[in-house]
Amino acid sequence: MAKNVFIMTFEEDSKAYQAFAELKHLHATGGMKGEQMGILLNDADAGLQLKDFIDFTGADKSMKGSLIGLVVGIIGGPLGMLLGWIGGSFIGATGDAREVKTAISSFEQTVSLVSTGKTGLMLIARPEDKENIERIVYDELGGQVARMDADYVLEEVKKAQQAERELAKEAYRQMKK
């Protein structure tokens, strides 16, 4: 079954929490079939954080192993730290670093719609739920929605994880020199 990743942003952070509640209700009443949903905070100091999470499938009651958790972990976790720590000339000089940047750039740009200091929402749901999601986000809450194919995002996460492992090995080799 096809799935989309919806990333929603709002002028006011409280609207992300309101959208979380309304989309949760929409799922409960059959107006959409969500898989996972999480509230994201893009903290200036701590990076991307997951503030609240729900797995509508009941398969995993935590963010562990979820696509949303993987995205947050890649963008806000070790890869982000490695890229920030290595920086400058090393990034420009290695093919591995270019591969890392390429692997994460497409969905990182979308996730970055949740600008620093702001709170947004990420939802994995069916493409056919788009109209109901947009009605709540656009019409009722005045927010914005970006949408991506979930399989594409998962493939990009896998590429970023592999590139992260390679970059970590190269960073370790550089430190030993």
Query: What is the reported pTM?
Result: 0.74
Q: Is 71 exposed, middle or buried (0-12, 13-18, 19+ CB in 10 A)?
A: buried
* Residues in Cβ contact with 162 at an 8 Å cutoff, skipping those fewer than 6 apart: 103
As a whole number of Å, the CA-based R_g of the chain is 17
* Integer angstrom CA distances of residue 99 from 17, 80, 105: 35, 14, 10
Q: Give yes or no for a contact between 125 and 67, defined as CB atoms under 8 angstroms apart.
A: no
CA angle 28-142-32, nearest 5°? 20
47: left (phi over 0), alpha (psi -120 to 50) or beta: left
| C-alpha span between 53 and 141 (Å, rounded) | 20
Whose tokens are 């209700």? That residue is 25
| Residue-range definition of the domain harbouring residue 85 | 4-176
Question: How many domains does the chain fold into?
Answer: 1
pLDDT by 10s per residue, the chain, length 177: 788 989 899 999 999 999 999 999 999 999 999 988 888 888 888 777 788 888 888 765 555 556 666 565 555 554 444 444 344 434 444 454 555 455 555 556 666 778 888 899 989 999 999 999 999 999 999 999 988 888 887 777 777 777 777 777 777 777 777
3-class SS at 48?
Answer: strand
